[in-house]
Structure 1
Amino acid sequence: MRRIITFGTFDVLHVGHVRILQRAKAHGDHLTVGLSSDELNFSKKGREPVYPYSSRYEILTSMRFVDNVFMEESLEEKRNYIIHHRADILVMGNDWEGKFDEFMDICQVVYLPRTPSISTTEIIEVIKDSH
């Protein structure tokens, strides 16, 4: 069995998220998602996520191609998360190209192209500007 792992916030879920998760799962048999905690999201992006962790978790666990979701609480723990979940392949969007190459000693690292013209940040800005 080939085990895939990916990480993200998956806030304001959109078709780009769905497509990258489907494409990640296509690399193996089991897809685990490290879902950023609300606190980790704030430390990375300087803002609270639109949807709390519990809602984002519920959405991801309902997707048929996502096999497991866990709370990612620390960026510094990625290596341990990969080892703990026995991942063979780490899949990330190509906006992170090269940033996870340090894990090539414990798993294959694959960067997938993002869906063009779709961004959570842009969606949030459009919604804010319309009010």
Structure 2
Amino acid sequence: MKKIGYTTGVFDLFHVGHLNVLKRAKLECDYLIVGVTSDELSMSAKNKQPIIPFNERMEIVEHIKFVDEVVPQMNYDKEEAWNNLKFDKMFVGDDWKGTDKWNQIEEDFSKFGVEICYFPYTTHTSSTFLREVLSKI
């Protein structure tokens, strides 16, 4: 049976850390679905307006060879995403591992047979770091 994987991100100022997450996720599944966070959700959740517009971030991620399908992420309701996409594995950065929120998500998703896989966060390159560098130019 085909294993379907799912991950999400803003993917603003696309960099090697983003690429590594997608590459690693694809090694863990047969079909990788990626949710790209809308500008509105990024603003409401992180108070950050992405530099790259939403439709361009969608197009960038669609053209990554490890990605099989791209969907807009309009909210953080992971159960709603699962109801729509029926994934078997969800990939997330290990900076969330052990948090109350993700412990609850693990518990909630165990009833669907969904495995939560944590990947190392790329510390040397991040969109936040790139944003800071750009603001000094």
Correspondence list, 1:10-49, <5 A: 10-49=11-50
Q: TM-score scaled by structure 1? A: 0.93
Q: Quote the offset at 1:116 in angstroms.
A: 3.1
Identity rate of aligned residues, in percent?
A: 35
Give me the whole-angstrom Cα distance separating, in 2, the residues matched to 1:68 and 1:13: 17
Aligned length: 129
Correspondence list, 1:1-131, <5 A: 1-75=2-76, 77-98=77-98, 99=102, 100-101=105-106, 102-106=108-112, 107-129=114-136, 131=137
Give me the whole-angstrom Cα distance separating, in 2, the residues matched to 1:125 and 1:115: 16
Q: TM-score scaled by structure 2? A: 0.89
Once structures 1 and 2 are overlaid, which stretch shifts more, 2-11 or 98-107?
Answer: 98-107
Give me the whole-angstrom Cα distance separating, in 1, the residues matched to 2:74 and 2:23: 24
Give me the whole-angstrom Cα distance separating, in 1, the residues matched to 2:119 and 2:96: 9
* Gap runs ≥5 in structure 2: none
Runs ≥4 in structure 1, deviation > 3 angstroms? none
RMSD: 1.1
Instruction: Read off the aligned partner of 1:118 and give its amino acid letter.
Output: T
Give me the whole-angstrom Cα distance separating, in 1, the residues matched to 2:30 and 2:123: 26
